[in-house]
Amino acid sequence: MSTHRESSTQKLPLSQRVAQSVSNASSRLTGTSRAHQSASIPRPAPLPPPPPRDPQLSQYSTRAREDVGWCSADFMLGAAMVIIQEGTHKIVVVHDKRRRWFFPRGRKDVGESLETAALREGHEESGYRAQFMPHWGINQQPDQRPNAYNSPTCEPIFLTTMYWPPKYKKQADGKMVCVDHGGEYLITWYLGSIPENAVRETGTGMPDEVDYVSHLLTFEEARERVPPAERRVLNWAWRVYCDTLHYEQYLAEEAAKEVSANPNGSQSATGSTEAEESGDDRPIKLGVAGGAAEGKLER
C-alpha cells in the first residue's frame, strides 16, 4: 500500500508534490499545537441549571418565596386593619397631606400582641374604634375550639413584607456612617368592622399623624386610591367579607327552613346525631362571592 502511494505521488508534477508536502507538514504542526493548547487551557465548567421559578400560590397572592431567615436586628413587626362599615359596605381609607391613601397600620410596641396593635393603630390613624370582624375566610391554622371549623374566626387575612433601605448619618468630620443596615417590615392584616352610626374621633393619632383624615369609600373608590401593594390586600379582604355575608345569609335561610319544618321548635334528633357522629372537621369551602365588585378584582 505504501509503495503504491509513493509511486502515485512521484507521478505528480514537482510543483504539486512540493505543495502537498507543505500542506502535510502544516497539518501535523497545527494538530500538535491544538493538542498542546487543550492541555494547558482549562475547559469552562458546565453551567448549573437555572433555578426554578418560585411557585405561584392563589390568584390573590404573589409568588412564594424561598426559605429565608432574619435576625431581630433586621426586621420589625407591624399590624394593620381593613375596616368595613357593614351597614353601608364602605371601607375606611386614610388620607394625609402628602396625598397618600392607605389603610391604618403601624409597628407593634414591645410586649404588645399583634391583635392589640391592630386595634390601637386602627383607632389612632382612622379615628374609629373598630372591632375584629368574625369571618369565614380560609386560613391554615389548626382549630382547637369545641366547634372547630364550624364557626367564624378573627384570624389574620393577609401578610405583607416591606423592605426599608439602609440609613446613614453625617458625622462632625463630614463622613457618612451607616446607622441602620435596613431590613424587612412584616405586617399582619386583620379584618375590622364599625357600626353604621360610628363617630370618627379627632386627635387620636401620634404627633406625625395629626393631618390624617379617614374617609368611608366604596370598594371601587378605595381600590382606585390605595397603592398596588394594598390593593392586593383589599382584593382579598373584600372577597372574605363578601363570602362571609353570603355564607351567613345561607345559614340564616337554612335556620328559617328548619323552623318552618319544625313549628314546635324541636330540632331533628337524627340530623343532630349525624352531625355529632360524623366528626367532619374539614374546613368549609366557600363559593365565589362579591357580585359586581368581585368581577373587577385584579391579581
Q: What is the pLDDT of residue 290?
A: 41
Residue 103 burial (10 A CB sphere; 0-12, 13-18, 19+): buried
* CA pair distance 294, 299, nearest whole angstrom: 12
**Is 17 a residue whose pLDDT tops 80?**
no
Which residues are CB-neighbours of 131 under 8 A, at least 6 positions away? 119, 192, 193, 194
Going by C-alpha positions, the residue among 120, 121, 155, 117 that lies closest to residue 135 is 155
Q: What is the pLDDT of residue 169?
A: 93
Q: What is the pLDDT of residues 24-55, one digit of tens each?
A: 655 554 554 444 444 566 666 677 777 677 88
Q: What is the pLDDT of residues 221-272, one digit of tens each?
A: 999 999 999 999 999 999 999 999 999 999 999 999 999 998 876 554 444 4
pLDDT tier for residue 19 given thresholds of 50, 70 and 90 = low
**Is 151 a residue whose pLDDT tops 70?**
yes
Which residues are CB-neighbours of 221 under 8 A, at least 6 positions away? none
Going by C-alpha positions, the residue among 225, 214, 220, 162 that lies closest to residue 192 is 214
Q: How is residue 202 written as a grid cell? A: 379627632
CA angle centred on 229, ends 295 and 104, rounded to 5°: 100
pTM recorded for the entire structure: 0.71
Domains with residue ranges and CATH for the chain: 76-164+185-294 (3.90.79.10)
